[in-house]
């Protein structure tokens, strides 16, 4: 073994070479050793994949820090052990008992639902998980073909499962795959379940403890029956069907970017009454190699380029595109010059909430017990709009599972209207407990139809919102730091920021520091420290926010699913006239760049 490897990494490699792993896995490890690829070996073995804000995610390959049969197996075995222990004890913490025994005496009385996306190895990993759950006496509802993540969330609730999982790496590059774990309310696992599942996974010390041999009698294939029930909830979300009827010929271009959205987005739009949907055929075929894009992410202009070119040719009204597992959606609209422009996640989240609040008010549905939920790094224009309408706005940690936690805690007490986060994830209604690009595509199409029915474009609608509430602009600065060394560098950046709060940032003085690591808010003028209440989507997390005297907000947060640290910068200014849109936007972008320069974020 190379002396360039630390003791822990060497120990893990030796365990895999000596353990009951298949010959192909061992051959690939020995190949890395023979080629002296110490960096690859370290990154593959220096730690175990962990559950973060989105579950477990990593590059595919051999090793304890890679997505493969054995890491999926360990995670699933630990998850199965936890489910069985919880069901036996009856300690579910948040809802039904998990007793979904359909008369089969051979299983524990618990069940899970499993879905997967179009990525390479996703069906393979899903089958491994199904076999392990069934081998542990847990009934499995396995989708017979790829399906969107939000439908998995719906299926868990509809089938009254104890939990579930979806095999996906969301919008990550093609070499990644992942594993999102869900609990019985249809949301991704939160405390205490997330930590408890990890603890049960960590108790597995040998690959021999994983029950890979499934029980086919406990595996039920599902598909169109769940599609039908799920699509009914999207139809129920529709607020203005008469508007859609009048604007049924709205010209919509849609791309699934080689992912799961193709299975349901066109159906959902057709169900609502949109008759002029043009699919980007070059990206319609599910394909884990994502051959037409560099990065299968609708946040990226490159990934949206084919759809926007098609929209230009067709003189369309709207472009929408979903990521591989169809929980995120990107959109593009024409500006007054006739140019297609991408809307960012904050803009679309704001537009959806702007439309929902107005529609609920006009329908007389605002009683004082309704609420919106968003994350702490999502635009504050949503808070402002909620305040104007007398609707509560709950801010949560980053990660849609925290928004789901608020919905769960307030169920039966307050009514959830909708919510979202800056990373292109939105939710309308509470039938699903995760971000839902299928329902969001339907709602975006509806609000575009509403704007057109009132003689406006979606861009006009955006301008109107800013004129009423102020022009909020958010910049995202992402620094990628791969591997062990990168993870250590990210941690040190957070330590340095906490220890050295700048005296000024782009000419404005920080007045408040919110440190979610210890849930405290410090007034820098008085030195007074107050507590940030725990609960309702809030717990300790490695995030720090600076609020400046001019209303600017800067947030620093290491990603829970990727080797990145993200800095979110929010600035705002009045917008007095539609024709000032571009000049105000330019000034706000300049301010974000100055903040980036001042903080040394290069």
Q: Which residues participate in catalysis according to the annotation?
A: 170
Quote the distance between the C-alpha of residue 396 and its chain's center: 14
Quote the distance between the C-alpha of residue 198 and its chain's center: 20
- In this structure, the strands spanning 219-222 and 139-143 are parallel
> C-alpha dihedral over 446, 447, 452, 457, to 10 degrees?
-130
DSSP, collapsed to helix, strand or coil, labels residue 61 as coil
The Cα 366–Cα 369 span in angstroms is 7
Q: Using N-to-C axis directions, what is the helix angle for 122-135 and 69-89, rounded to 10°?
A: 40
Query: Do residues 108 and 197 lie in contact, with contact meaning Cβ atoms separated by under 8 Å?
Result: no
Reference 404, options 235, 141, 154; nearest CA is: 154
Measure Cα distances from 131 to 69, 114, 156 in Å. Answer: 12, 11, 18
Q: Which residues contact 219 (CB under 8 A, 6 or more apart)?
A: 130, 131, 134, 139, 140, 142
Q: What would the two tokens of residue 178 be?
A: 């992942």
Report DSSP letters for 233-257, one per residue. HHHHH-S-HHHHHHTTT--EEEE-T
The Cα 468–Cα 195 span in angstroms is 44
Q: What would the two tokens of residue 447 be?
A: 């609000």
The Cα 109–Cα 92 span in angstroms is 14
Query: Do residues 214 and 132 lie in contact, with contact meaning Cβ atoms separated by under 8 Å?
Result: yes
Measure Cα distances from 16 to 2, 12, 44, 240, 568 in Å. Answer: 16, 6, 12, 58, 40
The Cα 424–Cα 347 span in angstroms is 9
Helical H runs in 470-580? 483-499
Helical H runs in 273-380? 301-314, 345-362
The Cα 97–Cα 87 span in angstroms is 7
The Cα 510–Cα 550 span in angstroms is 9
- CA-CA-CA-CA torsion sign (450, 455, 456, 461): negative
Q: What would the two tokens of residue 170 be?
A: 């969301």
DSSP, collapsed to helix, strand or coil, labels residue 11 as helix
The Cα 475–Cα 593 span in angstroms is 9
Query: Could you give the count of Cα atoms lying within 13 Å of 57 in the half-sphere of its Cβ?
Result: 21
């Amino acid at each position: 073994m190379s002396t360039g490897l630390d003791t822990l990494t060497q120990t893990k490699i030796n365990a895999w070479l000596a353990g009951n792993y298949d010959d192909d896995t061992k051959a690939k490890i020995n190949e890395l050793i023979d080629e002296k690829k110490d960096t690859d070996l370290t990154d593959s073995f220096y730690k175990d994949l962990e559950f973060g804000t989105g579950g477990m995610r990593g590059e595919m390959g051999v090793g304890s820090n890679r997505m493969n049969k054995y890491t999926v197996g360990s995670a699933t075995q630990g998850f199965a052990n936890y489910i069985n222990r919880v069901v036996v004890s009856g300690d579910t913490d948040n809802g039904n008992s998990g007793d979904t025994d359909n008369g089969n005496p051979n299983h524990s009385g618990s069940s899970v639902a499993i879905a997967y996306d179009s990525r390479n190895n996703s069906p393979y990993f899903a089958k491994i998980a199904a076999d392990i759950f069934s081998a542990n006496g847990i009934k499995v509802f396995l989708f017979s073909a790829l399906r969107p993540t939000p439908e998995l969330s719906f299926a868990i609730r509809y089938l009254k499962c104890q939990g579930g999982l979806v095999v996906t790496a969301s919008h990550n590059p093609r070499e990644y795959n992942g594993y999102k774990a869900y609990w019985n309310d249809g949301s991704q696992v939160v405390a205490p379940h997330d930590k408890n599942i990890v603890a049960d996974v960590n108790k597995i010390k040998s690959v021999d403890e994983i029950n890979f041999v499934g029980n086919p009698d406990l595996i039920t294939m599902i598909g169109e029956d769940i599609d039908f029930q799920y699509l009914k909830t999207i139809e129920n979300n529709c607020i203005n069907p008469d508007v859609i009827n009048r604007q049924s010929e709205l010209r919509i271009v849609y791309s699934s970017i080689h992912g799961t959205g193709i299975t349901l987005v066109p159906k959902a739009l057709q169900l609502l009454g949109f008759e002029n949907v043009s699919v980007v055929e070059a990206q319609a075929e599910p394909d884990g190699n994502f051959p037409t894009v560099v990065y299968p992410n609708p946040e990226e202009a490159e990934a949206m380029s084919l759809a926007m070119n098609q929209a230009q040719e067709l003189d369309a009204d709207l472009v929408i595109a979903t990521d591989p597992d169809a929980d995120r959606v990107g959109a593009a609209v024409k500006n007054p010059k006739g140019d297609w422009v991408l809307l960012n996640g904050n803009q679309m989240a704001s537009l959806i909430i702007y439309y929902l609040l107005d529609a609920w008010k006009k329908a007389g549905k605002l009683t004082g017990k309704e609420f919106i939920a968003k994350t702490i790094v999502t635009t504050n224009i949503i808070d402002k709009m909620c305040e104007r309408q007398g609707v509560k706005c709950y801010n949560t940690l980053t990660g849609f599972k925290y928004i789901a936690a608020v919905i769960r805690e307030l169920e039966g007490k307050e009514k959830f209207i909708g919510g979202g986060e800056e990373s292109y994830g939105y939710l309308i209604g509470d039938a699903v407990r995760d971000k839902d690009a299928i329902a969001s595509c339907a709602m975006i199409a509806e609000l575009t139809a509403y704007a057109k029915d009132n003689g406006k474009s979606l861009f006009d609608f955006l301008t109107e919102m800013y004129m009423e509430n102020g022009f909020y602009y958010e910049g995202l600065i992402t620094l990628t730091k791969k591997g062990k060394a990168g993870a250590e560098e990210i941690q040190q950046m957070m330590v340095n920021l906490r220890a050295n709060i700048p005296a000024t940032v782009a000419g404005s003085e920080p007045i408040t520091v919110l440190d979610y690591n210890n849930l405290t808010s410090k007034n820098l003028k008085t030195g007074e420290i107050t507590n940030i209440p725990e609960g309702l989507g809030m717990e300790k997390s490695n995030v720090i926010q600076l609020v400046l005297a001019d209303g600017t907000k800067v947030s620093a947060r290491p990603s829970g699913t990727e080797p990145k640290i993200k800095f979110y910068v929010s600035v705002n200014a009045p917008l007095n006239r539609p024709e000032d849109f571009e000049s105000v936007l330019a000034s706000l972008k300049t301010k974000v760049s100055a903040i980036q320069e001042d903080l040394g974020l290069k």
